[in-house]
Structure 1
C-alpha cells in the first residue's frame, strides 16, 4: 500500500523529532516577527538575539 504525502510527512517527523521541533519553532518565530511583532517586541528580540550570539 502506498503512503500518502501526509503519512510520509508524519513518518519523517517521527524519525526526526528534534529537527522537526527545530523547524516548527523557527517557522513560528519568523511568522511572529513578520506578522505580529511590535516595535517593543523587536527591540526585546534584538537583545535576546545578541545574548544568544554571544553564547554560541
Structure 2
C-alpha cells in the first residue's frame, strides 16, 4: 500500500514534470503499437518516418 506522503510526492512530481510525462506517454504508446498492433505495412511506413526524422536531427547537429 502506498503511503500518503508517497502519493503526495508522486502528484507533486507529475505537476512539475508535465512535458516529461507527455513524452513518456507518447513513447509508451508508440512502443505498444509497434509490438502489439502494427502490420508489416505499418512498420515499413514507420521505418521511413524514423529514417526521415533521424536525418532531420542529424542536420541540426
Question: What range describes the TM-score normalised by the shorter chain of this pair?
Answer: 0.7 to 0.9
When the two structures are aligned, how many residues end up with a matched partner? 55
CA distance in 1, matches of 2:37, 2:5: 34
Report which of the two structures shows the higher radius of gyration computed on alpha carbons: 2
5+ residue gaps, structure 2? none
For normalisation by structure 2, the TM-score amounts to 0.77
Structure 1 stretches of 4+ with a deviation exceeding 4 A read 4-7
1:14-53, aligned counterparts within 5 Å?
14-53=15-54
RMSD of aligned C-alpha atoms?
1.6
- TM-score relative to the length of structure 1: 0.83
